[in-house]
Chains A and B, each alone.
Chain A
């Protein structure tokens, strides 16, 4: 079984992102970049499927600038076999990314595509579902458990009310939720080995897809800031404030 894992280079989750001073976009100058945490979970799941003998090959793919090679190398160090960079401008829209990924699907014919449920920069939560639509494949989003059984996958999904299990025919699209697994760290020998693994590059303009942007960012601002409140000294004071000042209870 062959697995395709689309990953994204994003700002590290510990960074508190701010707008540029002219409010035209977010300020990403000199901030630490990383593999999107949900994509790390996707890579980990694929690697575990390979370790258990279910998968034979894992291909990491990203759409982005040449800087994204760094994140592809990380994916290779974590256990992916080869990688594909689809070079594009900074931050294409999810619809464009899904169309590009669909082309890679057609070339590679994987049995399973595992994506993150959400990239923590744009918080869009779209790409996997869009890719499923374009390829007319079943989707199992927000997965917290994945079991492959022959030509089907049983996937437990985290939904608002609790958990839902569905069965999808392969090839299928799975998107990861936080509790699917706990990703490993890359070991130094594996980081060294990853440097020798194949990393192919394509240009998004050669894929024959419509790459035009449908949306534009008009401005980026800070949200209204909360004023820090007060510290109360005791439970009695807290109850008094909630009753008489905030009238919240």
Chain B
């Protein structure tokens, strides 16, 4: 049977997490279809070049601009019946949408998979990544969300999928989009960045984050944060890395003034190289750091910015 992937996009382009999700789908079958619900009639065509996708199922309608799950989930329910697996990224988009579609299909979703064993069996982290469970699903249509960092993305180009339209758009009078505050930044996005420098409570204020930013500028890095730094109002919520924030796995992760609580580690411990800067030599972050520097960050950061 074929595999359906639900595309995450911003109506102008396909989000990178979709490409990791397609990579996971490739481990399940080689006939991969991509469902694109949008208000932009150009988007399905541009998605048709994605590597490994054989068909784009496109639903274009003005009401789909904000892709609210009350409308989208019933559409997925209808499309899903000809597939063995339906996959979406385990981002806030996928987490919001997929369980709703799953319940409509009377299927028990498998959340946030980090590995594919076979058609029915998956690995997924539980208890903030303290353990990895191997789970077998007996549902005939399996709905799955995919941990993007666990699968190397396919390319945006190289494919030539057929585009087929799906016209039964579902109307929604239960919920309504009001507004959005989307952070705009010239830096790379956290989940796609090659280098991340994150600050914790030790940064003491939002203003002090400029110490991280000047290093980030030199390294082309994204800036992240611990929950404590977000809760204290130093930086906005979209900076949060961890069990309940973003899951990242860059080449280099630099944790500054972060103690290393398990909930933070859950979001970054699969990074290739980890650096920790902390004035407390017993901070748990040093147990996962490849390179630890015991120092006051207010001395170390300016020096690092200067010399790097």
Q: Contact residues of A with B, CB < 8 Å?
A: 11, 13, 16-19, 26, 93-95, 98, 117-118, 120-134, 137-142, 144, 154, 157-169, 172, 177-179, 213-223, 226, 228-232, 234-236, 238-239, 241-242, 246, 248-249
Known interface pairs A130-B103, A214-B139; 7 further A-B residue pairs with C-beta atoms within 8 A, sorted by A's residue number:
A122-B111, A127-B99, A129-B103, A216-B135, A217-B133, A218-B136, A235-B293
Q: CB of B217 within 8 A of chain A?
A: no
**Are A125 and B99 touching (Cβ within 8 A)?**
yes
Q: Which of B151-159, B160-168, B179-187, B205-213 contacts A (4 or more CB under 8 A)?
A: B179-187
Q: Mark B125-160, 1 if CB is under 8 A from A, else 0.
A: 111111111111111000000000000000000000
Which A residues lie within 8 Å of B231 (CB)? 178-179
Which B residues lie within 8 Å of A246 (CB)? 252, 273, 290-291
What CA separation (Å) do A230 and B293 show in the bound complex? Answer: 9
Which of A129, A161, A178, A214 has a CB less than 8 Å from the CB of B96?
A: A129
What CA separation (Å) do A235 and B303 show in the bound complex? Answer: 7
**Are A144 and B237 touching (Cβ within 8 A)?**
yes
Which B residues lie within 8 Å of A215 (CB)? 108, 110, 135-139
**Are B136 and A138 touching (Cβ within 8 A)?**
no
A126-B125 contact, Cβ under 8 Å, with A133-B73, A166-B68, A248-B272:
no
Q: Which of B39-47, B51-59, B87-95 contacts A (4 or more CB under 8 A)?
A: B87-95
Which of A95, A123, A130, A132 has a CB less than 8 Å from the CB of B243?
A: A123
**Are A26 and B131 touching (Cβ within 8 A)?**
yes
Which A residues lie within 8 Å of B191 (CB)? 160
**Are B121 and A218 touching (Cβ within 8 A)?**
yes
**Are A94 and B175 touching (Cβ within 8 A)?**
no
Q: Mark B104-127, 1 if CB is under 8 A from A, else 0.
A: 101111111000000001000111
What CA separation (Å) do A162 and B132 show in the bound complex? Answer: 29
Top 6 A-B residue pairs of the complex, sorted by shortest distance between their CB atoms: A229-B290, A129-B99, A133-B103, A130-B103, A214-B108, A138-B174
- The binding surface of chain A is classed by DSSP as mixed
Which B residues lie within 8 Å of A118 (CB)? 244
Could you tell me the distance in whole angstroms from the C-beta of B13 to the nearest C-beta in chain A? 13
**Are B174 and A239 touching (Cβ within 8 A)?**
no
**Chain B: interface size category:** 35 or more
What CA separation (Å) do A248 and B190 show in the bound complex? Answer: 17
**Are A178 and B244 touching (Cβ within 8 A)?**
yes
Which A residues lie within 8 Å of B178 (CB)? 154, 165-167
Q: CB of B62 within 8 A of chain A?
A: no
Q: Mark B204-244, 1 if CB is under 8 A from A, else 0.
A: 00000000000000010000000100110000111000011
Which of A129, A178, A218, A228 has a CB less than 8 Å from the CB of B100?
A: A129
Residue in A closest to B17 when the chains form the complex, CB atoms: A160
Which A residues lie within 8 Å of B236 (CB)? 162-163
A-B contact pairs, 29 of them (CB 8 A): A11-B127, A13-B128, A13-B263, A93-B108, A120-B243, A123-B112, A126-B102, A128-B99, A133-B99, A133-B101, A142-B92, A162-B237, A163-B237, A167-B175, A167-B176, A169-B173, A213-B108, A214-B138, A214-B139, A218-B134, A218-B135, A219-B133, A231-B281, A231-B291, A231-B292, A235-B300, A235-B303, A242-B252, A248-B195
